[in-house]
Amino acid sequence: MSSYGGGGNHPYGYNPNATNRQRQSDDDSSYFAFHDNNRSTTRLAADSNYGRSNTRLAEDTNYDPAHRTTSGNSTNFLQPERTYNRSDHSIIDDYYSRPIFDTNQQQDPRYQSHPQDNPFDQSYEMQYANAGPNYNQSFVPNVYDDNEEREFDERIQYDKFKGDHYDLAAVSYDDEATIPSSGTVQEEQKELDEEQGPFEEGVAPYVPPPAAVEVREKKPIRASGINGHLVLDCPVASELLSKFPDYRYGQKDGGLSREFAFMRYTAVTCGPSNFYRDAYILRPVHYPVPRQTELMIVITMYNEDDILLGRTLKGVFKNIKHLESKSKSSVWGKDSWKKIVVCIVSDGRTKINERAQALLAGLGVYQEGLAKSMVDDKKVQAHMYEYTTRVGISDVRDGVVKLTTNKIVPVQMLFCLKEANAKKINSHRWCFQAIGQVLDPKIVILLDAGTQPSGKSLYKLWKEFDRDHQVAGACGEITAGLKKTQMITNPLVYGQNFEYKISNILDKPTESVFGFISVLPGAFSAYRFVALQNDVNGKGPLEKYFKGEFLHGSGELDPNDDEYEMKRSMLKEEAGIFTSNMYLAEDRILCFELVAKRGCNWLLRYCKSASAETDVPEGMAEFILQRRRWLNGSFFAAIYALAKFPYVWRSSHSFLRKIFLHIEFMYQLVSLIVSWFSIGSYFLVFRILTTSLADPALNFAPGNILSVVFLWLYLASIVTTFVLSFGNKPKGTEKFYIVIVIFFAILMGYMIFAALFMAIHAIKELYRTQTQLTLTLFLQNAEFRNLVVATASTYALYFLASFLYFEPWHMFTSFAQYILLSPSYVNVLNIYAFCNIDDVSWGTKGDTGGPSLGEAKLREDGTFDVSVPVRKEEINQSYLNQLEKIRDAAPPPEKHIEKSNEDYYAFIRSMTVLLWMVSNFVIIAVVLETGGFNQFESVETLAAVKSARAKVFLTVILWTVVFMAAFRFIGCVTYLIFRLGSRMKRSEHATKI
């Protein structure tokens, strides 16, 4: 009996001599029999609300892949024997008659074709005969950033990488397209070595090949698919293959395995929830020995350019090299790249950046001319390209991405290009419900295009799961990409850097101690795939997470959509403004659902040692728009978590853990209240400080005049911000916002001066009236005590915590910028966010894809009639054309801002802002005895009551700040202690459960 659960000695139990009836009866028990039976948790991802079952095909007794109900003539995953007549079929048809898996022991003799009949016996090197400049030289050599990478090289044998073979191909080079050559292979190689490559520095400008090498029309061929789906295995351009160090001219496929020599294209005609059920197959599980995916790295992108995508891929490739070099690890080490799949999901065929697409083509994972818009009268919903690339990224600078094939570890890449723009949640649905269900990874790491993980970050994240089997999700530190010149020229960037650093030192470690992190950022986070799965009733984290996609849906549903019933049932729920804004921060919903999952005790962790760098907004308009999404999403998601926090009691956490989680929820409630009243509280602090400085007893002459001037400017700025927020987009009024932010920075400087002046005056008064000064005497002075304690608890703890984590530099480079920008965080960002809670548009309405890419027709014999490039010149020229697009730096792309105007949402927006303003005005009026409240007091007691209320308020608000700062500080110190203690424990290898 085979270890794969089938019969005979062949993986999946395939016997080419068995009858069709025998094969059909064995299909259900053998298909996907490679599933890891040692996993302690059964994959139950069925979602009754979706109307589809996501359980394994082996558990679906009603499903027979040999007789799919969708098409009676579709090709079976394991091809049955067919009788061919050489007079009416092509050479390619002969090739498809081979079994999918290449087994020499059981190879049927009739599949052995003669050299003259096999189109794959020819060599794949490009033959040049005065066809213009040659670009067959090596890429720019790799640039080492540090000694760490050199250590990787000492442990890795770069010439020993061997890919796998599988016996399926739908496209071959056309013999008639070969240009004759007069020299030998050795002479041609010598000529190629003398040429300059397109990425070499200091060479002559690129000159396109002459018009003689024109691209002809695609050649119609007959292609066999898998399970009735259009799957094309296409030769990779010889321009790319010849750059590999082990490429051999004159040999079949250059002496390379089919994994490196062919790229696969799959046209997906179903939605992600039906991808697994419809028996789509991916290359990692299609090899004779299917690969178990330990790590699936998901990179989502929209319209990011090649620079942002290149930075992310450079960091990912470096991390994979690090994993390959860990020779002493029980999980990683040699051939670790076979356990990793890098999945890039692009949101919309018409939205993808042309240069980013060209970069993927340069890596070999994308080819022009293969994609189709229709397959057998069904719309293609996603285009999947799969290739194991051996091209790396050596450098990303000056607007150019430089590639290399020097000392590169292979990377399994999957590029999923969605036909329509359907937002980021839909991209994650393709990863978790479609790709993830087939690959069954243990850990999924999420990255945004533009986020570059450091050299060992992915291993550090993975280690959090390996160390503790209760960890369901983890995140690392996100750092801001900085330029030294921006410290003065653009303080906005350095202000955000300080915000990021303090959050990673105080907030995230504190939450990690309790086991619940309010948000694992989608730009850099990781999840245990088993923990994400729904229960047998279809309820669970993913069900809640993906609900936002359908609540945001616009337009009428297509009855022909294979997910029609699922979407219709989801749209029956009311998509209120609360829910719509809540799902702007869908990652927060996922975090809560994981921790509160019924019958489980999953925890979330923060990994300080894992970091990733990302670009922060450099312009004011971009910054305001980003924070609008963050603030609205986090505000409503926090309300959701607080309203649902009793759900923690349905989990299997220990009683002590549940108590800790309740303490954290109470802290978050206090934070939410402080955030709600922040604009009123800031105005009160401003007014108290400025009016106090105007007191004649302080002997500050300009104080009274400045108090009135700043008051009027303050009110004018607030009113202007409200007007701009309601009626205009930040891009069109960016200059107004810049002026307002500058004013608030000046105001903050004046308030700091007022606080220091009053503190110094209090000390002088004590010194003048007392002969001996003591600490007790200072603390008895309420004015001095409140100012000093609040300031010290905030800024002094910032310094102390930063030094404890050995990261104090941001306190010297970014602290001043953040302090001056802090009033704008409270006023400008909060006002714009609340005034635009009705704006939940993702900019996807009406996107139905781009121009038609052609159609593939399914024949009665189960093959497809499809037109694709098959000539060497076409494939190579297409590759060179893509490289030319990213040769030089490109100007920044234009940004289009789409509008959203819904009457209902606008009404709710106005009511929310009105309630917010009134509640903040009430607290101001009560404390300052304005707005008619002074009429209830006598003239004699009015001044005393007003002063007493001001002191009470100031005392309450400042001690609240003290509590929140101390709470976070205790949490970060506790995290540091636990972190040091955990390093002394041996790894449990929990990912093997």
Per the CB < 8 A criterion, the answer to whether 192 and 134 are in contact is yes
Model confidence at 388, in pLDDT bands (50, 70, 90)?
very high
Q: Which two tokens stand for residue 202?
A: 């200091």
The answer as to whether 171 is a domain residue is yes
The answer as to whether 458 is a domain residue is no
* Element spanning 296, H or E: strand 295-301
Mean pLDDT within 945-968 = 81
Residue 907 has a pLDDT of: 55
| DSSP strands (E only) in 536-678 | 603-614
What's the rounded Cα separation, in Å, for the pair 711 and 835? 23
Nearest by Cα to 429 from 548, 283, 596:
548
Per the CB < 8 A criterion, the answer to whether 171 and 235 are in contact is yes
Q: Is the pLDDT of residue 116 over 50?
A: no
Higher pLDDT, 169 or 639: 639
Q: Cβ–Cβ contacts within 10 Å for residue 87, how many? A: 5
Model confidence at 150, in pLDDT bands (50, 70, 90)?
low
Q: How far apart are the first and last CA of the chain?
A: 25
What's the rounded Cα separation, in Å, for the pair 13 and 4? 7
What's the rounded Cα separation, in Å, for the pair 958 and 956? 6
Q: DSSP string covering 71-127, please? A: -TTPPPSSPPP----TTSS-HHHHHHTS-SS--STT--GGG---TTT-TTSSB-SPP
Residue 757 has a pLDDT of: 87
The answer as to whether 516 is a domain residue is no
Q: For tokens 């990011």, what's the residue? A: 304
The answer as to whether 735 is a domain residue is no
* Helix runs in 891-938, H state only: 903-928
Residue 651 has a pLDDT of: 92
Q: In what order do the strands lie in the sheet with 411-418?
A: 231-235, 262-268, 382-389, 411-418, 340-346, 295-301, 443-448, 524-528, 471-480, 603-614, 452-453
SS3 label, residue 298: strand
Q: Is the pLDDT of residue 33 over 50?
A: no
Domain that holds residue 410: 119-302+341-421+847-897
Strands 443-448 and 524-528: antiparallel
Q: What angle do CA 469, 471, 474 make, to 5 degrees?
A: 140
Q: Is the pLDDT of residue 936 over 80?
A: no
Distance, CA of 970 to chain centre:
31
Q: Which two tokens stand for residue 189?
A: 């190689």
Mean pLDDT within 202-223 = 49
What's the rounded Cα separation, in Å, for the pair 524 and 521? 6
Higher pLDDT, 488 or 343: 343
Residue 638 has a pLDDT of: 85
Q: Cβ–Cβ contacts within 10 Å for residue 768, how many? A: 7
What's the rounded Cα separation, in Å, for the pair 288 and 107? 13
Q: For tokens 């074709």, what's the residue? A: 113
Residue 783 has a pLDDT of: 66
The answer as to whether 126 is a domain residue is yes
Residue 546 has a pLDDT of: 86
Residue 106 has a pLDDT of: 33
Residue 204 has a pLDDT of: 36
Residue 59 has a pLDDT of: 38
Tell me the whole-structure pTM to 2 decimals. 0.75
* Element spanning 444, H or E: strand 443-448
Q: Is the pLDDT of residue 487 over 60?
A: yes
- Residues 6 or more apart from 178 whose CB is under 8 A from it? 122, 127, 872
What's the rounded Cα separation, in Å, for the pair 236 and 163? 15
Q: List pLDDT tens digits, range 828-852.
A: 999 999 888 877 654 444 455 667 8
Strand partners, 383: 267, 417
| DSSP strands (E only) in 558-634 | 603-614
Residue 986 has a pLDDT of: 59
Mean predicted lDDT score pLDDT of the chain: 74
Nearest by Cα to 65 from 112, 97, 33, 102:
33
* Helix runs in 412-467, H state only: 423-429, 436-439, 457-467
Higher pLDDT, 751 or 146: 751
What's the rounded Cα separation, in Å, for the pair 252 and 234? 15
Nearest by Cα to 592 from 636, 561, 557:
636
Model confidence at 894, in pLDDT bands (50, 70, 90)?
low
The answer as to whether 275 is a domain residue is yes
Per the CB < 8 A criterion, the answer to whether 242 and 253 are in contact is no
Share of the chain above pLDDT 70, in %: 68
Mean pLDDT within 593-603 = 93
Q: Which amino acid is at 900?
A: S
- Ranking 99-103, 385-389, 911-915, 948-952 by mean pLDDT, the lowest is 99-103
- Residues 6 or more apart from 274 whose CB is under 8 A from it? 52, 562, 563
SS3 label, residue 979: helix
The answer as to whether 31 is a domain residue is no
What's the rounded Cα separation, in Å, for the pair 448 and 298? 8
Q: Is the pLDDT of residue 232 over 80?
A: yes
Handedness of CA 896, 902, 906, 909 (dihedral sign): negative
Q: Cβ–Cβ contacts within 10 Å for residue 584, how many? A: 23
Residue 158 has a pLDDT of: 66
Q: Which two tokens stand for residue 919?
A: 């509640």
Q: What angle do CA 105, 111, 114 make, to 5 degrees?
A: 115
Model confidence at 208, in pLDDT bands (50, 70, 90)?
very low
Q: Is the pLDDT of residue 271 over 70?
A: yes
Mean pLDDT within 304-319 = 93
The answer as to whether 240 is a domain residue is yes
Higher pLDDT, 240 or 127: 240
Q: List pLDDT tens digits, range 619-656.
A: 898 999 889 888 888 888 888 888 888 899 999 999 99
The two most distant CA atoms of the chain are separated, in Å, by 117
How many folded domains does the chain comprise? 1
